[in-house]
Amino acid sequence: MSPGVSPRRARVRRIEDQVHASEPRISALIRDEEILLSFNEAAAYLRASRSTLYRLMHRGQLVGRKVGRKTLFFKGDLMDLLRATGVRGGADGQRAQTEQNGDKVD
């Protein structure tokens, strides 16, 4: 025990260390597709507005699950949506979308 640290605090630190040591094993059990995102997190992940999420839900392209007052989305569903629409992120995605629309890209 370190000087000036109470026995209770030392015990708490040992427990915290054990919990932190087990976190990588726990997160390895949860697949990326099974992670739930809130409405705002889903919008941020897709880099879309809230109205776009509502539109995708209305069209049946995206399914949200109501849990109480919250709407939650599986991250896997968001990834599937991106794959189905052929969207690529970053400048390459913008270039591909512009070329697809027939606009000239410099």
Same domain, 43 and 71: yes
Whether residues 12 and 55 share a domain: the answer is: no
| Adjacency order of strands within the sheet including 36-38 | 36-38, 70-74, 65-67
Same domain, 50 and 15: no
pLDDT in tens, 11-69: 878 877 776 666 555 556 667 778 899 999 999 999 999 999 999 999 999 999 999 99
Q: Is residue 103 part of a domain?
A: no
Same domain, 57 and 70: yes
Query: How many domains, in total, are found in the chain?
Result: 2
Give the mean model confidence (pLDDT) for residues 65-94: 80
Of the chain, the percentage scoring pLDDT greater than 90 comes to 42
In a domain, 15, yes or no: yes
Do 18 and 51 belong to one domain?
A: no
CA distance between the termini of the chain: 66
- Does residue 89 register a pLDDT over 60? no
37 and 26 assigned to the same domain: no
Does some domain include residue 98? no
Domain containing 23 equals 1-30
What does the H/E/C string look like for the chain?
CCCCCCHHHHHHHHHHHHHHHHHHHHHHHCCHHHCEEEHHHHHHHHCCCHHHHHHHHHHCCCCCEEECCEEEEEHHHHHHHHHHHCCCCHHHHHHHHHHHCCCCCC
Q: Residue 51 maps to which CATH number? A: 1.10.1660.10
Residue 17 belongs to some domain of the structure: yes
What local confidence, expressed as pLDDT, does residue 15 receive?
77
